């Protein structure tokens, strides 16, 4: 398994934490700092952070088309929190750069400000009960065709999959639980 390399977009966010989870599963984590680094990896994680900032940096460094091409080649992408927003085809407010790959509409900071951050037990499809950490989290306002909702908080969609795309509003990298990252690793193996 250690021959599988998984990239973590290294523009902002919990790069080290995602890399630690990847390596705890026996794969190799690679900090993706330039579009050319995508050629080295079999899958990509877009971490949380500030989605507007990450979007602008993706445009500035030439990542937008490179990541779209990466996905078009069938390589899986997982977006957490801000990464979920960037994967979305549409957001409910604002006008920031998006990858527009996943057939979802996301709402930024949907649960409120930093002080409204929280933990919750989610029942995730194919994973089971998971203690999720939400920090200034978005949610999925609507899902479109071919998108499968994987977890909800109440009636709010907080995790979804569309083919080789995976998105969560929460931060699995901030827990000691490796199962969401293992699910993504399994997606990469299947691809």
Residues annotated as part of the active site: 81, 171, 173
Q: Where are the alpha helices (DSSP H) in 25-173?
A: 51-60, 63-72, 82-87
Residue 39 per-residue DSSP state: G
How many Cα neighbours within 13 Å face the side chain of 76? 22
Which ranges constitute the DSSP H helices of the chain?
Answer: 15-24, 51-60, 63-72, 82-87, 179-190
Side-chain-facing half-sphere of 107: CA atoms under 13 Å: 11
């Amino acid at each position: 398994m250690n021959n599988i390399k998984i990239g973590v977009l290294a523009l902002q966010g919990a790069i080290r934490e995602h890399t630690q989870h990847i390596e705890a599963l026996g794969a190799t984590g690679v900090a993706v700092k330039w579009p050319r680094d995508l050629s080295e990896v079999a899958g990509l994680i877009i971490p949380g952070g500030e989605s507007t900032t990450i979007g602008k940096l993706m445009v500035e460094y030439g990542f937008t088309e490179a990541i779209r091409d990466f996905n078009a080649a069938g390589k899986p992408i997982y977006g957490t929190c801000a990464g979920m927003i960037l994967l979305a085809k549409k957001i409910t407010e604002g006008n920031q750069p998006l990858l527009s790959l996943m057939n979802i509409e996301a709402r930024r900071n949907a649960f409120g400000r930093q002080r409204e951050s929280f933990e919750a037990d989610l029942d995730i499809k194919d994973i089971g009960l998971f203690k999720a950490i939400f920090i200034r989290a978005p949610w999925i306002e609507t899902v479109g065709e071919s998108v499968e909702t994987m977890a909800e908080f109440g009636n709010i969609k907080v995790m979804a999959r569309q083919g080789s795309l995976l998105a969560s509003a929460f931060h699995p990298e901030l827990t000691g639980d490796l199962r969401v990252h293992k699910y993504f690793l399994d997606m990469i193996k299947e691809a």
